[in-house]
A and B are shown apart, each in its own frame.
Chain A
Amino acid sequence: MMYSEKVLDHFSNPRNVGEIEDADGVGEIGNAKCGDIMKMYLKIDNGIITDAKFKTFGCGAAVATSSMATELIKGKSIDDALKLTNQAVVEALDGLPAVKIHCSVLAEQAVRSALSDYYTRQGIDPLPIVGEIHEPEE
């Protein structure tokens, strides 16, 4: 298994680990049976993601993609965060082994899941804005 230096860096020193007590949006994706769960917490102020934190149960790539995804959306607008693709996460990590690409998809979906929760809390139907959240297949 060849992980890039950047993946190993984000795995061994993950950025933004933890919870946000008064989060404006919380999303969770994955299941323990398959071995990957990501939980993402967002603090949103005037349409800007002012803070992002995560907790992840999973392999090195799952931790690294969660860490990178939070880095990529912090300080960004919701619109920008919704444009985050798994490919962008992969590129920011200098690549992932083919068998680990699904981890980057989980990270992308965790962000969308948290944003979806944010809209729901605002009383706004998230579906037209965020789209469907894709749970990994068992």
Chain B
Amino acid sequence: MEKRFIYADNAATTPVSEEVLAAMLPHFRTAYGNPSSIYKLGRDAQRDIETAREKVAAALGAQPAEIFFTSCGSESDNWALKGTAERLAKKGKKHIITSVFEHHAILHTCEYLEKQGYEVTYIPVSDKGLIDPEDVRKAIREDTALVSIMYANNEIGTIQPIEEIAAVCHEKGVLFHTDAVQAVGHVEIDVKKQGIDMLSLSGHKIHAQKGIGVLYVKKGIVLPNLIHGGGQERAKRAGTENVPAIVGLGVAIEAATRNIAEKAAVITPRRNRLIDGLLTIPYTRLNGDRDKRLPGNLNISFEGIEGESLLLMLDMNGICASSGSACTSGSLDPSHVLLSIGLKHEVAHGSLRLSIEEDVTDEDVDYILETVPKVVEKLRAMSPVWEKMMKGEKYE
């Protein structure tokens, strides 16, 4: 089969769509006014920001006044956690609950808060990569300020029982935040119906540009100001607005949430064909629950090989993918997510994450299914770990 170029790493980032770029472009050269200016050029920019805010609110089932633009998902996570912690500490609530397999924007913020004297409980996840709402209930204390659980995991794509977790939190009078960076545009979200108090999202995962995010904060919840300065974002986050990015995000989220079910109907069968095809390779396992996962996500471990080598070789074959190996995580340890669902280090090193969208065709799926087994075989042929496995020897 002829070499192709296949982008199968949409959980890392996505290209800016044509319609988003078209909406953004005027804001660089012609509609460049400062939204705080009084003349028409400025007022127009202000209006375009508010239109974008309405689109974001509509996509989440929120009110426009509950939407705050930030620079990225990590900023939104930081603001939600540190802001809530600071505010509720004054009421003697210095306990936060999260899970062991959150994104580092949550985990490292929690570690920081621990150093500031807060207590954090890290809820474990099942071997399928799911959180049990009952575990959240058991962890809630009198002094719990906030529960933060991700909507969908960034590596294994598992979708958490958000509505149930939110219900448990509200029963106990605790605020609930979710990092929905991976979920927006892929699953139906309604913050009111699902009882979400705060939600983080990121633009570049849904075909807007990098450097734009959102924090939804339910009306009535008051977070401390994140950036002090002018009156932007109702003085909560000062600084002249990134107008092109905000306008682009508005268009992007509208497009991403317009036809979630239709997209899933196209992507899911292709994703399932990838899972079934790759699982025919011996000594291979699927990581994360097969059904309760994002439509385009698959995460598979191949025993006896290492992930970075796998990615480099796939790249040479035109396939962009991701892994949870130590080499790609920037430390000696493989992904904390894969370890949290019970994988041994040596198995976690050999993981492959593909995150596809509709542009990955059935022919692309064929190509991936033809290429990956060859690459795995080549790497296993040069792997002393694989050699020992085949001889039935211990290799740890």
- A residues contacting B by CB (< 8 A) are 8, 11-12, 14, 17-18, 28, 31-39, 54-60, 62-63, 99, 138
- Is there an interface contact between B382 and A60, defined as CB atoms closer than 8 Å? no
- Is there an interface contact between A58 and B395, defined as CB atoms closer than 8 Å? no
- Is there an interface contact between A32 and B349, defined as CB atoms closer than 8 Å? yes
Q: How far is the CB of A30 from chain B (nearest CB, A)?
A: 9
Q: How many pairs of residues, A versus B, come closer than 8 Å at their CB atoms?
A: 74
- Is there an interface contact between B312 and A60, defined as CB atoms closer than 8 Å? yes
Taking CB atoms and an 8 Å cut-off, the chain B residues in 266-316 that contact chain A are 304-306, 308-309, 312-313, 316
- Is there an interface contact between A33 and B384, defined as CB atoms closer than 8 Å? no
- B residues contacting A by CB (< 8 A) are 304-306, 308-309, 312-313, 316, 325-327, 330, 332, 334, 345-346, 349, 381-387, 395-396
A interface, by DSSP: helix, strand, loop or mixed? mixed
- Is there an interface contact between B325 and A35, defined as CB atoms closer than 8 Å? yes
Given A11-B309, A32-B395 in contact, is the A59-B325 Cβ separation under 8 Å?
Answer: yes
- Is there an interface contact between B313 and A57, defined as CB atoms closer than 8 Å? no
Chain A residues whose CB sits within 8 angstroms of the CB of B312 once the complex forms? 8, 11-12, 60
9 further contact pairs, Cβ within 8 A, besides A32-B349, A33-B396: A14-B382, A35-B327, A37-B385, A39-B384, A57-B304, A57-B383, A60-B309, A60-B312, A63-B382
Contact of A99 among B313, B330, B382, B385 (CB under 8 A): B330
Q: How far is the CB of B234 from chain A (nearest CB, A)?
A: 41
- Is there an interface contact between A59 and B332, defined as CB atoms closer than 8 Å? no
Nearest neighbor of A63 in chain B, beta-carbon distance: B309
Q: How far is the CB of B236 from chain A (nearest CB, A)?
A: 38
Closest 8 A/B residue pairs (Cβ): A32-B346, A59-B308, A59-B327, A39-B384, A57-B385, A33-B345, A57-B383, A55-B384
Chain A residues whose CB sits within 8 angstroms of the CB of B330 once the complex forms? 99
Q: How far is the CB of B283 from chain A (nearest CB, A)?
A: 13
- Is there an interface contact between A34 and B383, defined as CB atoms closer than 8 Å? no
A sample of 12 inter-chain contacts (CB < 8 A) reads: A11-B312, A12-B316, A17-B381, A28-B384, A32-B346, A36-B306, A38-B384, A58-B309, A59-B308, A59-B309, A60-B309, A138-B332
Chain A residues whose CB sits within 8 angstroms of the CB of B386 once the complex forms? 57
State A81–B327 Cα separation when bound (angstroms): 28
Chain A residues whose CB sits within 8 angstroms of the CB of B304 once the complex forms? 57
- Is there an interface contact between A57 and B326, defined as CB atoms closer than 8 Å? no
- Is there an interface contact between A58 and B306, defined as CB atoms closer than 8 Å? yes
Nearest neighbor of B387 in chain A, beta-carbon distance: A55
State A36–B386 Cα separation when bound (angstroms): 13
Q: How far is the CB of B316 from chain A (nearest CB, A)?
A: 6
Interface centre among A12, A28, A58, A60 (most CB of B within 10 A): A58
Given A12-B316, A33-B345 in contact, is the A55-B382 Cβ separation under 8 Å?
Answer: yes
Q: How far is the CB of A12 from chain B (nearest CB, A)?
A: 6
State A99–B349 Cα separation when bound (angstroms): 17
Contact of A35 among B349, B381, B384, B395 (CB under 8 A): B349
State A125–B386 Cα separation when bound (angstroms): 31
Interface centre among B316, B384, B387, B395 (most CB of A within 10 A): B384
